[in-house]
Amino acid sequence: MLVLTRKLGESIAIDDNIKIVVVQIKGKQVRLGIKAPKETKIHREEVYQAIHDQNIEASKADPNSLSDLADALRNKK
């Protein structure tokens, strides 16, 4: 992991199109501003982890559901 030190108003550039700016420091909290293309997904870690966990659960197929779907598709013909 790369660790950088930045002061209020200073920034970090990632590639050519992402910029992270320290916009506020208050006690133990740091507020960051992020400039990135709209197609770039940006989440707080806890939100990212929740999305990841939900995607894993959604990808677990119930064998009975798949069998029911196959039967339904066969019966449509």
Residue 61 belongs to some domain of the structure: yes
Residue 72 belongs to some domain of the structure: yes
Q: What are phi and psi of 73, to 5 degrees?
A: -70, -40
Same domain, yes or no: 69 and 51: yes
pLDDT band at 76 (very low <50, low <70, confident <90, very high): confident
- Cα 68 to chain center, whole Å? 33
Q: What are phi and psi of 2, to 5 degrees?
A: -85, 130
- Rounded to an integer, the average pLDDT of 40-55 is 95
pLDDT in tens, 56-68: 988 876 767 778 8
Give 32's strand partners. Answer: 22
22: left (phi over 0), alpha (psi -120 to 50) or beta: beta
pLDDT in tens, 15-47: 999 999 999 999 999 999 999 999 999 999 999
Q: What is the pLDDT of residue 77?
A: 61
E strand intervals along 1-77 = 11-14, 18-26, 29-35
Q: In which domain, by residue range, is 24 found?
A: 7-39
